[in-house]
Structure 1
Amino acid sequence: DPEECAQEFGAGVPTVKDILAALQRPGRDPREDLPRPKLRQDVTHLEDLKEGMILEGTVRNIVDFGAFIDIGVKNDGLVHISQISDKYIKHPIEVLSVGDIVKVRVLSIDQERERVSLSMRDIQGEVIPSL
């Protein structure tokens, strides 16, 4: 009974119902319910990226120093914490969640180390080129 479980574990009834529903569908990936980013068809490899390019991507992981964004190439790009917001934030989780779809600008590409530096600052009004 969800009400009994909620009381026993000190959780809300809706939360318990959500947990029970999720347990009835094992192996289901919750990301399937999230909207998909509009990945550019002309950007599939690291070599396709150019500095200044505006892309849309999905937040894949959040760490103390920034967030990793899937932009459609082999390796995720990194948005350093200083490049996430125009305002000071203590931790990326203040403004981002895993699964968020965000606009990013390519700051730099290190082909040798296969790393991409991204920024989310000053791009709210930017238009992503048609796919």
Structure 2
Amino acid sequence: MGGSTISVLAALALGVHPADRSAFDACRAESKSIGQCNWRDGRFISFNGQYSNRIATNAGWIAVEQSKQINPNEYAPTGVEKILERSPNLWAVEGNFLICPLKQPHEIDYLRENHLKIACLAGARRLSARRMP
């Protein structure tokens, strides 16, 4: 890992990276009426196509959508971006993510079929790079 990646990861371990603060705050506010935010261990992976950034958890896939961002379906916290910028097809980011619900699978037929939940991120910690098989 490069020095800049380690410093970003260390900053995230201590608190929210300044670049992520507004996105995380907007996420908490937007999901407040929908459901409770929960910390979950998972693997952040970037795919091609609709809902490209997803987190794999023991409970299934979660699509990340930060609605207040320029590209809401492509948002990744700063520490995750630093790891994935090497080559998103070869790397995943394992960590602990504060996931806040935005929509339930029954609201969209495509999501119901694939059991994909849509959520935003309100936090990320203990991030580490993992090479994809």
Q: Which has the higher strand share?
A: 2
Kindly indicate which of the two structures has a greater share of residues assigned to helix. 2
TM range (shorter): 0.3 to 0.5
- Please, what TM-score do these two structures have when normalized by structure 2? 0.37
* TM-score normalised over the length of structure 1: 0.38
